[in-house]
Structure 1
Amino acid sequence: MSWKKILAESFTSSHELLKFLELPVETASTVADKQFKTRVPYSFAARMQKRNPQDPLLLQVLATDFEMDKAANYTEDPLKETESNHLPGLIHKYEGRVLLTFTSICAINCRYCFRRHFPYQDNNPGQAGWKKVIDYLQQDKTIHEVILSGGDPLLASDNVLEAFIKQLETIQHIKILRFHTRIPIVLPERITEDLLKILKSTSLHKVMVLHCNHAQELDNQVKLVCQLLSQAGCTLLNQAVLLKGINNHIDALVNLSKSLFDCGILPYYLHLLDKVLGAAHFDLPLVEARKLYLQLQAKLPGYLVPKLACEEPGKANKTLIGN
């Protein structure tokens, strides 16, 4: 079955997902589901434990009434990305690199997503708009890295990806192509031979920053796909989010780092939650985050300890959280 068909057959309501998991459908919020649509590929749902309402994968994607809470200091644009939105589809916030919202959809909708309210309708460049993006990249010779984000950039077709990569290759000062993607974790079927050929053939350095929050997300198919990406020349890193009720205990974080490494992925960042409207129930107090991080440092070698960090609007870089 093609990856597009698999994606099309994803769960698109929390009620459907709960029925599949043999759980009471009353747990889900219809209102929250309408505001931010559920989307969960079957292969990801199959890694959830049936009849377990506290499953760490389920809790990342289940629409609940908690999302209706209007918590103080939580906004639709917590990182103020629209202020760095120089062109439709282009965010230039940090020196030397730009981020492109290459697609507007993801294979999975995570309830804590900091872009759950992002105005994608205003950031669809269209064919003419992408020409302006390329012109912008050509003119600013301080840019050496292009980050494809979204949505999820790997949901673009092979033809679109290949054509865009070829355009980037013509810009001499661009050396690194980075993908921010959850696809190898949640829809490994997308990593096809054709896509691997495209990645392998580019002269650009390739970095893939994956997003995995719990070791249960990593099965044998994900491991195989990560091996294939490594063989295609991709450096694999992971950024996780510290989420209350999902991975905010030391065993979960230790197992995550070890399981990532077993898949050929280096832990990169452990993010504090971005304060996006609808996600306050996932937040963990800073004092607890620091305590967990100290325990993590004591239990793992340095190369398996991700950087504890948060993003603050207007800063020139991520803020690393000290001990």
Structure 2
Amino acid sequence: MFRAILLEESDGKVSAQITELDEAELPEQEVTVAVEYSTLNYKDGMVLNGLGRLVREYPHVPGVDFAGTVEASSDPAFKPGDRVVLTGWRVGEQHWGGYAEKARVKADWLVPLPEGLTTKRAMAIGTAGFTAMLAVMALEKHGVTPEKGEVLVTGAAGGVGSVAIAVLHAAGYRVAASTGRAETHDYLKGLGATTIIARDEIATPSGRPLDKERWAGCIDSVGGSTLACVLPQIAYRGSVASVGLAGGNKLETTVIPFLLRGVSLLGIDSVMSPPEERKEAWTRLARDLPMEKLDAMIHDATLEDLPALANDILEGQVRGRVVVDVRG
């Protein structure tokens, strides 16, 4: 038997409870993992509140991410005792996830935990940090280098933004952090932000097809009118890595920045990212992310804390990274 958060649906309403499940109830997959830590993403907040039809079948164990130790494996790629991390692959949505002391998943979904990275720190990174690294890698591949100028990070105090700032700063970039929360300014500067940009300053497009060139690149987790405002401000041959839609999923803009400045809009998908890209990103995170900055982002939590935290993250009230010890 093991503890888990179990979601059930009745009359269109989703409820969550902590219960004990039998290992025989786990999905029939190749690798059984003793989960140690999980985390809280915006998508987890939606799932715990029954929003967005992300979960189609109940009862369901949520939790998009987890890290732990292999207990049993029918796939030769893993053996008992291996330390592993999982993000994406619709785990926690279509498949049972990490808000439990045990999980059973496909071997292809797992990444060996890089040397020097603990399971707790892996979940401080989680999907948010993994997505941030994919965004940094995409900017690099499209020629955004430190000498090109400042890189803007929107939604900076969230999980993606926090890790992005720390990684970019460590790589030698000057980073502008956009936030609407004045109380996070010292936190963002501690991560490495050199400039703080008020959210309202980039919330509304000017209406002009091109504005003054301000940013060599951008990692944007807001979308909507913020992304429409930022695109005309990107420097010649700069790029924007789009990772989220906290501000809306519609983009009303012109093609002029793409045609006259050669700006690139790069879509970042972390859910179905292929295995080799995953391994590269996790290796980079273990090597390039300053662990003291990562530790400064962590807020510890337990399974019991998650229902309240799910509401907080949907309301934009979670700073940094929530790390959930599923064992108690």
Of structures 1 and 2, the one scoring higher in RCO (CA 8 A, sep 6+) is: 2
TM-score normalized with structure 2 length = 0.30
> Per residue, is there more strand in 1 or in 2?
2
TM-score normalized with structure 1 length = 0.31
> Per residue, is there more helix in 1 or in 2?
1
